[in-house]
Amino acid sequence: MDKPDVYRCFFIERFTGTEAYNRPFWSHSVPDTSFIDNLWHEPVPFNLSSEYGLAIAHHGDYCWLSNPSGVWRAKLTEESLDLTADVLSVRQELTKGAGRLIVELNNNEGQYASLGEGELEVLDIGCQLEVSPGYTTSQGNEISSGLAFGVDAYEHTSSGGKASLILYASDGWNLIENWRARHQFRWNKGSDEMSVKALLAFVLARVGIKLEVKSQSSVITSYYPDFTIHPNNRGDIVTGKLLSFTPDVVFIEGNKAYVVNPGSSDNSVYSYGS
């Protein structure tokens, strides 16, 4: 285990069933949480067959893994690529439990021909797209922080002398929907272990999302249901069931989910018309 940015650990899973294997898995704590919170990303298999774990360390701008047969290195510094100048169109669709983004980029010069390589190494499936809308005002070009999406797919198109790269992305709701429980979990069978809020935080952490509170009911922190997650249960079904126990709702922005307990006296944050 090491903490180059968040807590990161490797362990060996020994499977003795059909097609037995010994394989390293890695996981990390959710950003801006403490070790004692015990909020970890779903373990991910590492492409290596080994009976022993991997040593992890960091120095400077790099993180290192090693075992007797190899050494691996990864950058710790955050890398970004500004796509603003090439944006032809942006389509953003947000619903109660889903967020989609389609971005069309000008590729007339072939500058986006090889994603994931060279200067475009940072732009590939799985990378994060941050869309910050703005206006041209008397003060110049002004923007506000927008939403974040993960790239699911991309498409190169060409017609009528025009070449484009189209990026298809989704928000954290898609991560939750795609999560599947690898084994059974059960809480509160014989004693109060985790409240509804704590259970929500646990499930969201499995896809790297931190749960925060804007407002909350007393139920979400005081109700301890006898709750079971069965193998292969979907994340959206699990979170939906947990939220059915309370009047609270959840919305997602970037890598954070926010609990809100709607009330009739809440102030409006948006209005239109007269």
> The domain that contains 247 carries what CATH number?
3.55.50.30
Whether residue 41 is contained in a domain is answered as yes
* Burial class of residue 111 (count of CB atoms within 10 Å of its CB; 0-12, 13-18, 19+): middle
% of the chain at pLDDT higher than 70: 98
Render pLDDT for 222-240 as a digit per residue (tens, 0 to 9). Answer: 999 999 999 999 999 999 9
The total domain count for the chain is 3
Q: Does 133 share its domain with 154?
A: yes
Query: What is the domain range of residue 112?
Result: 84-170
pLDDT bin (cut points 50, 70, 90) of residue 272 is: low
Q: Does 68 share its domain with 100?
A: no
State residue 69's pLDDT score.
Answer: 87
Domain boundary residue, one of 52, 75, 98: 75
Q: Does 68 share its domain with 93?
A: no
Q: Does 164 share its domain with 88?
A: yes
Whether residue 175 is contained in a domain is answered as no
Render pLDDT for 93-124 as a digit per residue (tens, 0 to 9). Answer: 988 889 999 999 999 999 999 999 988 999 99
Whether residue 272 is contained in a domain is answered as no
pTM over 0.85: yes
Q: Does 141 share its domain with 109?
A: yes
Whether residue 274 is contained in a domain is answered as no
pLDDT bin (cut points 50, 70, 90) of residue 274 is: low
**Residue closest to 230 by CA, chosen among 174, 159, 182:** 182
State residue 265's pLDDT score.
Answer: 81
Q: Does 190 share its domain with 254?
A: yes
Domain boundary residue, one of 117, 146, 170: 170
Cα 104 off chain centre by: 23
- 104 vs 151: CA distance, rounded Å: 13
Q: Does 98 share its domain with 147?
A: yes
Q: Does 101 share its domain with 55?
A: no
CATH number at residue 102: 2.40.30
Identify whether the C-beta of residue 148 lies closer than 8 Å to the C-beta of residue 109: no
Q: Is the pLDDT of residue 51 over 70?
A: yes
Q: Is the pLDDT of residue 140 over 60?
A: yes
Identify whether the C-beta of residue 219 lies closer than 8 Å to the C-beta of residue 263: no
Q: Is the pLDDT of residue 143 over 90?
A: no
Q: For residue 201, give the DSSP letter.
A: H
Identify whether the C-beta of residue 50 lies closer than 8 Å to the C-beta of residue 24: yes
Structure tokens at 128: 């994060």
Q: Does 98 share its domain with 164?
A: yes
Whether residue 266 is contained in a domain is answered as no
Q: Does 222 share its domain with 155?
A: no
* Burial class of residue 119 (count of CB atoms within 10 Å of its CB; 0-12, 13-18, 19+): exposed
Structure tokens at 167: 């990026």
Q: Does 98 share its domain with 71?
A: no
Higher pLDDT, 95 or 40: 40
Q: Does 144 share its domain with 186?
A: no
pLDDT bin (cut points 50, 70, 90) of residue 53 is: confident
